[in-house]
Chain A
Amino acid sequence: MERVPILKLGDILIISIQIDLDDQSVLALQEDLADRVVSAGARGVIIDISAVEIIDSFIGRMFATIAGMCRMLDAETVVVGMRPAVAITLVELGLSLGGVRTALNLEKGVALLDHLGDRGTPR
């Protein structure tokens, strides 16, 4: 089973998904991430999916789960770099990411988290 690396940049955790996720690695990622958010005291998590070509309902739900989990630990989640084809497929399937924030690329994701941090009252 491949593990997805979790990078730390200041108080933001960055996950770049470069592999085809199977159910096992998704569950492992969720556990690893919860641990890291607590140990690093992160206030934001960015999931970069610019290399992901296929998103099914399971992975779609993973984003919502991670976001809910991180919110419990007082961290905001941003999904960045979704490809147009992936977005169209998700809409056609009627899937939404359940209130997860999105940004066009990593840079804008970091900017979004900074903006939220400045306001001090994340929604």
Chain B
Amino acid sequence: MTVHADVARRRITELLGSADEQILRRWSTIAQASADELRELYQALRNSLAHEGDDLTDVRGLLAELSRSRARQGYTPSDTARAVYSLKEAVYESVEDDGGADALRGFIWFSRLIDDLGLYTIETFATAREKVIMDQAEQLLELSTPVVKLWEGIVAVPLVGTLDSARTQVVMEKLLQILVDTGSEHAVIDITGVPAVDTQVAQHLLKTVVAARLMGAECVISGISPQIAHTIVTLGIEFGDIVTKATLADALAYTLRCSGIEFSERRHTRIAVRTEDA
């Protein structure tokens, strides 16, 4: 650091100290935030500038806190960054009053520092957002795969949402494990809740069916909507000898028949009732 830069820097630090109430007031006006909210941040900034070595840990901690609380209040990350940047404007007014070359040179340095801090609030915001997304993805994976017992020896897996490799893997493992645990020989994979079927999803479904077959169980795929049937044929996907049904009810009826359970509708008897006018 040159002597010039050092002097300039000290000048700014002095200005921040001597005109603190004025700067803080201007800052809170421009940033449209309460002075109390900014005071702590301002103090921390002054403290870290007063000490040599650019230790901005406290300031960053406070900024992260500010970024989080403002995000919760519905501010966009740009708003928060803009609030931080407005400190430059407040300080510049004091620099203008001072008018010295040192102060002006110091302002450049100060401005760069504030830029970094402003960017840091955006970074904090993005990190927090990312964490939320990752947590949600994990939760989605956990709750999205129920295996339902439909009948003795028949289980169903209603799939909801888009299928990707990770989810299909979870579904496959869970289904096969349930087949072993319950000794079920029939499984129905219901894809009513799957919005679209592409070659990859079809591949995953086929793999699941083949794996179940290797273990000695038969799978039926149900819930194929007209659009999906159209897509599958257009894409030229071969389902081979895998049984597919339009609705879960059809699939259940089919699997029941396969396991040798017969059912019949009760014959309706006609009852004639005549009401007489009172």
Contacts and interface: CB of A to CB of B under 8 A. Distances in A.
Interface of A: 78-80, 82-88, 90-92, 96-97, 101-105, 108-109
A112 B213 CA distance: 14
Contacts of B184: 104
Contacts of B180: 83-84, 104-105
Contacts of A80: 216
Interface in B210-253: 210-217
Contacts of B163: none
A97 B214 contact: yes
Given A83-B180, A104-B185, A108-B185, A91 B211 contact: yes
Interface in B194-220: 207, 210-217
A104 B173 contact: no
Given A84-B177, A105-B183, A91 B216 contact: no
A83 to B, nearest CB: 7
Interface of B: 172-173, 176-177, 179-180, 183-185, 207, 210-217
B47 to A, nearest CB: 58
Contact of A84 (B176, B185, B210): B176
B183 A96 contact: no
A94 B29 CA distance: 68
Contacts of A92: 207
B210 A91 contact: yes
A105 B215 CA distance: 9
B239 to A, nearest CB: 16
Contacts, number: 55
A87 B214 contact: yes
27 contacts: A80-B216, A82-B214, A82-B215, A84-B173, A84-B176, A84-B177, A84-B215, A86-B214, A87-B176, A87-B211, A87-B212, A87-B215, A88-B176, A88-B211, A90-B211, A91-B210, A91-B211, A91-B214, A92-B207, A96-B214, A97-B214, A102-B213, A102-B216, A104-B217, A105-B180, A108-B185, A109-B216
Contacts of B185: 104, 108
A118 to B, nearest CB: 12
A63 to B, nearest CB: 10
Which of B173, B210, B212, B214 counts the most A-chain CB atoms under 10 A from its CB? B214
Nearest to A105: B183
Given A84-B173, A88-B172, A88-B173, A102 B214 contact: yes
A96 to B, nearest CB: 7
Contacts of A79: 216
A104 B211 contact: no
Contacts of B215: 82, 84, 87, 102, 104
B183 A108 contact: yes
A108 B259 CA distance: 12
A90 B211 CA distance: 8
B216 A103 contact: yes
A104 B214 CA distance: 9
Nearest to A88: B211
Contacts of B211: 84, 87-88, 90-91
A92 B177 CA distance: 17
